[in-house]
Structure 1
Amino acid sequence: MSNDPKEHTIAVIGGFDAGKTTFIKTVRDAANGIIGLPAAEETPTLSIAEYNVTLPDGKTLTFLDTPGFDGYQAGSEGAKTTGEILQMLEEHLGVNGSRTVSHVLVFLNANNATTTELKGRARRAFERLFPNSKVVYVTTRWDQVENDDGLPVTVEEAKNKEESIYAGGKTSGSLLEYLHDNRENRGDVLRFRSGLLIDAYSSPHDIIQKLFATARQVSRM
């Protein structure tokens, strides 16, 4: 386990088709000076995948990409449960050095924010994996969201839709209910909207820059 303040292990979890892998690769490309169109759509992630990204300030981020909750596996197999996916992540961390996860990025598709359950074994696994991790919500695919006139949403429209996503997901026994009751009330949960860079939402690279700028500000308080 590294105590280097410049090294961070980030678990990336969330709904199926929320663009987790595309987000990570866009951050990686931006850090490597590759500017242009967003990364192409990715095939579903079926196992735990690691991506190492070095930011311009020398900070090293290890993203742990996970299969999407409530999705489907290749072929006709059903989706792995939330508990099974978290167990995969726990086993991966155990085999690869038992690193502490500094941040958990929870992804939600703004067009289809499926409610994910977090009960029993899944909840216990979450608590073992992330006892002191910073939780960060990232709602995605905002560049695909339009208002009633068929135009890109404004900042105010995006905020209203964002609130409805979180409110609708806080059902009994859900992941969002658990985070609300156990993390949000401590005041340590951040929210970001991801899409093409306009005022209503931020690019993946900009979100990561803001996230660690916030961390630096907190550490100085």
Structure 2
Amino acid sequence: MLGSPGDIVIAVMGVTGAGKTTFVNYLADQELQIGHGLEPCTQDVHVVPCTLPDGKRIYLVDTPGFDDTYRSDTEILREVANWLNTAYKMEIKLTGIIYLHRILDVRVGGAGVKNLKMFKKLCGDDGLASVVFATTMWSFIPDEETGKRREDQLKSGAIFWKHMIQQGSEVFRQDKGRASAQEIVNYLIEKRRPVTLDIQREMVDQNMQLNETGAGAEIVSAVDQAKRYYEQKLEETRVKLEAAIARKDDDQKEELEEYKKEMERKMAKDQEDIRRLQANSEQLHEETMRKHKEEMLQLTQIIQEKDKQLQEYQHQTDQLKIQSEHELEMEKIRAQMKLKELRYKTATQCNVM
């Protein structure tokens, strides 16, 4: 579901575990499942209809973070870019973007920095005036002073939000559940500044391939850096492997060969990710639709197989029921025959007496 031109559509972004789905559920007409533990719940883009207390109809877009344990950044970027580009082609513009961040994080780790970099590249400077940075999980902060200090660090840090605030982004606290969620959404609605993101201009207006966009180039740069690291490790492993073979150390030889295969597997996967970034908007949409059709076909096959198993189970149940009824009938007949036999013996004994 995408909506229509003129609809109020707000994207919700941030790292896994920042509370994106929880935020959406405060306003959603129907709640989404919330992930627990290490596995992220939001693995695809979800457009969620919401009805505000004043009756206004809006759509919140729940997006996956670029720190997924099970999917690469390339796969996530393809998913997000395809949705954004498809919406843009349908003349659906985002009313704004809400970027959630856990205030309880003492330091912003690699995943947080990577997410923020990708966010900047997706948006570009022109869209930052329609962005809200909202801090979550205030209930876990020991005192107001600690939270305020961390909030100030985020606002003033050059690698965090400083530049984006200077470009018009606002900072809110998502600390009062549904009430603060409504406040944030109402701020963006009242501002009513529809935004076109850089990746939409790059891929739709300029027909760039995904790897040529700012966000795609960020992934290509990271892969190139990883490639240099893998190549260095492979060279070190080659030297150690030759030494292990020379001294006939079979245990270390086996361990080094396994490590070498793992490095080569990671390099091959990274190169495949780069290849998958070489797609323009139309190709990306076609590939995504083909993937969805394949998934639907697999799902249909699974349902059909389950139906077949259910029918077989029902047939077996019916057969057992028939068999049971037959055995019960036979048991009744045997009981009746025994009863007749017993009556006959009793009558005979009485006649003798």
2:113 to 107, 112, 115: 115
For the residue of structure 1 that corresponds to 2:68, the secondary structure is coil
Alpha-carbon shift at residue 64 of structure 1 (Å): 0.8
For the residue of structure 2 that corresponds to 1:25, the secondary structure is helix
Aligned residues: CA RMSD = 3.5
1:185 aligned onto 2:166:
yes
Alpha-carbon shift at residue 81 of structure 1 (Å): 7.3
For the residue of structure 2 that corresponds to 1:46, the secondary structure is coil
1:52 to 49, 54, 58: 49
Contact 2:14 2:99 in 1 (8 A): yes
Alignment length (residue pairs): 180
1:208 aligned onto 2:181:
yes
Alpha-carbon shift at residue 78 of structure 1 (Å): 3.9
Per residue, is there more helix in 1 or in 2? 2
1:108 & 1:61 partners in 2: Cα distance? 23
Q: Equivalent residue for 2:99?
A: 106
1:206 & 1:165 partners in 2: Cα distance? 23
Give structure 2 stretches of 5+ with no counterpart. Answer: 193-353
1:159 & 1:68 partners in 2: Cα distance? 25
Amino acid at match of 1:25: N
Q: Equivalent residue for 1:17?
A: 17
Contact 2:97 2:130 in 1 (8 A): yes
Residue by residue, what CA displacement relative to the aligned partner does 1:13-67 show, whole Å, maximum 9, x if unpaired? Answer: 11121110111112226xx8x9xxxx85454211111111011212112011111
Per residue, is there more strand in 1 or in 2? 1
Residue by residue, what CA displacement relative to the aligned partner does 1:61-98 show, whole Å, maximum 9, x if unpaired? Answer: 2011111122322xxx4444775454243245257x34
TM-score (norm 1): 0.64
1:141 aligned onto 2:137:
yes
1:191 & 1:17 partners in 2: Cα distance? 19
Higher relative contact order (CA 8 A, sep 6+): 1
1:63 & 1:212 partners in 2: Cα distance? 9
1:89 aligned onto 2:83:
yes
Q: Equivalent residue for 2:8?
A: 8
1:190 & 1:111 partners in 2: Cα distance? 19
Q: Equivalent residue for 2:211?
A: none
For the residue of structure 2 that corresponds to 1:115, the secondary structure is helix
Alpha-carbon shift at residue 123 of structure 1 (Å): 4.9
Give structure 1 stretches of 5+ with no counterpart. Answer: 148-152, 195-200
TM-score (norm 2): 0.43
Q: Which has the larger radius of gyration?
A: 2
Q: Equivalent residue for 2:263?
A: none
1:212 & 1:117 partners in 2: Cα distance? 22
The aligned runs of 1:162-201 (5 Å cut-off) are: 162-167=151-156, 170-171=158-159, 176=160, 180-181=162-163, 183-186=164-167, 188-194=168-174, 201=175
Residue by residue, what CA displacement relative to the aligned partner does 1:178-221 show, whole Å, maximum 9, x if unpaired? Answer: xx32x4224x3222222xxxxxx322x212332355457768xx
Question: Structure 1 residues 55-64 or 131-140, which shifts more?
Answer: 131-140
